[in-house]
Amino acid sequence: MPQQAAEAAASFPEIDAYIDGLPDINGALIPVLHRAQEEYGYLSREVQLHIARRLQIPASKVFGVATFYSLFTLEKKGKFRINVCLGTACFVRGSEAILRQFETDLGIKARETTEDFLFPLDSIRCVGACGLAPVVMVNDRVYGRVKPEDVKGIVEEHLKRGGE
């Protein structure tokens, strides 16, 4: 059973160190998942199994929690995560048109990633910057008062940095 062997062999020293530093593993699952995603970018099957073993809980529970919360992702994400805010304030100020413009310019649909793994496109629910609606977030950077014609520039700005 090669897959199981590989899973057993996989090691996650960063996660081990984090768990070892916790005062109590009871109820620690979500912080541990946050830490793992921060470290590896996504929650692979292997890391989920590892966490289950270390926290002494069923793997099904880890999977159940990882899939329940929208901030956790089970797949590798691209480099520049584009999130168009579809919160109410942005919605009534036309953020759907912004999302459509990204879809057209990038040639993908929301929740897809471009082939070069540079741009995963998604929507987000309110970053609390409603005064700047409509808002687009690329990774941690917030762009405010975005117009459909600004979309091209936002993409190009990151394309330039893409090779770095």
Q: Point out which residues bind another protein (CB under 8 A).
A: 26-31, 33-34, 61, 64-65, 68-72, 86-89, 91-93, 124-133, 135, 140, 142-144
Shortest Å, Cβ 6 to another protein: 27
Q: In this structure, are residues 98 and 65 in contact, taking their beta carbons and an 8 Å threshold?
A: no
Shortest Å, Cβ 132 to another protein: 6
Dist CA 122 CA 49 (whole Å): 27
Q: Between residues 11 and 21, which has the closer beta carbon with respect to another protein? A: 21
DSSP of 92-136, one letter per residue?
Answer: HTTHHHHHHHHHHHHTS-TT-B-TTSS-BEEEES--S-GGG-S-E
Shortest Å, Cβ 71 to another protein: 4
Dist CA 17 CA 63 (whole Å): 22
